[in-house]
Amino acid sequence: MYDIVLIPGDGIGTEITESVTSILDSAGVDINWINCKAGETAQKEMDNPLPEETIEAIKKYRIVLKGPLATPVGAGFRSINVALRQKFDLYSNIRPAKSLPNIESPYREVDIVLFRENTQGLYIGKEHWVDEHQQHAESIAVVTRDASEKIITAAFEYAKKHGRKKVSLVHKANILKLTTGLFLKIGKEISENYPSIEFEDLIVDNMAMQMVLRPQQFDVIVTTNLFGDILSDLASGLVGGLGVTGAANIGENAAMFEAVHGSAPDIAGQNKANPTALLFSALMMLEYLEEFRKAERIRSAVYTVLQDHKEVCTQDIGGQGTTQSYTDAICKLLRD
């Protein structure tokens, strides 16, 4: 039995975590869920968006499945997602984007895995006011050799382990010569240790265009934090959106698997939420635990439902069903 921290999150979080845990149970995955709170829900109930009890549970059990957390825009507490990544040095954000059966998209045969450095860059929000009237603000991007080496090596090791042919490093070294220039320099150095894997580098604006023109040319992508945040959402859009792509955040001593879409409070409690993104994140968790066979059984059941039972799927992916009907159909296939 695995002891795993479960953070349902905000908005639709409770509904989709209930769906995913029931699917894992139907597949025979033996998990003892350690329920914890974070985000807006924790702020309202405990006056703390990241309670000490949650931090201690993650320290103890080291694996987390997390639903979406709401982050106030422009004011209020800072992103708990970012805080957790930094607190536990979850330096590797892994976002697969793979074409799915019967999901509407103009693209076919997309199979991209994006590695995003998760603890540095502009995304960490290291900002300050320059003047006392708050009319001039500055942000600082941090890039270090240590963090860059870890994420780039992780991308190459993934490619090697999974038989991937190419790693594409994305940067803006023509303008940001020190920060992303360092990232590019380290990428070139590390690529020499993997002669069987093709290596290329692309400037981020060209990369965005190339991903839209012909995404099939890309295999494994590695980049800095902010560029990765943007490009991973773009990659999700190529295969149907954030509702059908999972994500992992992995460090040396902990791992967190999460849906990266929003908490969708406008449809919370209405049985409309699509649990696929969190489910695919949970499958990444099973693979992290080396439960490959069970992960593949669940993935196969999802593909069968998408292909042959579209009517039970949620409306956002073209069905006429509900969270419950979609969940029940997957569970039935697993039990049968």
Query: Hey, which residues are catalytic here?
Result: 123, 172, 205, 229
Helix axes 204-213, 225-239, angle to 10 degrees: 10
Distance CA 143, CA 97 (A): 26
What is the residue type of 75?
A
CA-CA distance, 289 to 92, in Å (whole number)?
A: 17
CB distance 280 to 246 below 8 Å: yes
CA 113, CA 50: separation in Å to the nearest integer? Answer: 30
Question: Alpha helix locations (H) across 66-192?
Answer: 80-87, 145-161, 179-191
Distance CA 232, CA 208 (A): 10
Contact yes or no for 278/13 (Cβ under 8 A):
no
Distance of CA 81 to the CA centre of its chain: 11
Helix (H) or strand (E) run with residue 32 in it:
strand 31-35
324: enclosing H helix or E strand:
helix 323-335
Q: Are 70 and 275 in contact (CB under 8 A)?
A: no
Other C-beta atoms lying within 10 Å of the C-beta of residue 187: 27
- CB 35, CB 29: distance < 8 Å: no
Residue 76: is it exposed, middle or buried by C-beta count within 10 angstroms (0-12/13-18/19+)?
Answer: exposed
**Long-range contacts of the stretch 287-293 (C-beta < 8 A, 24+):** 288/63, 288/248, 288/250, 288/255, 288/257, 289/2, 289/63, 291/29
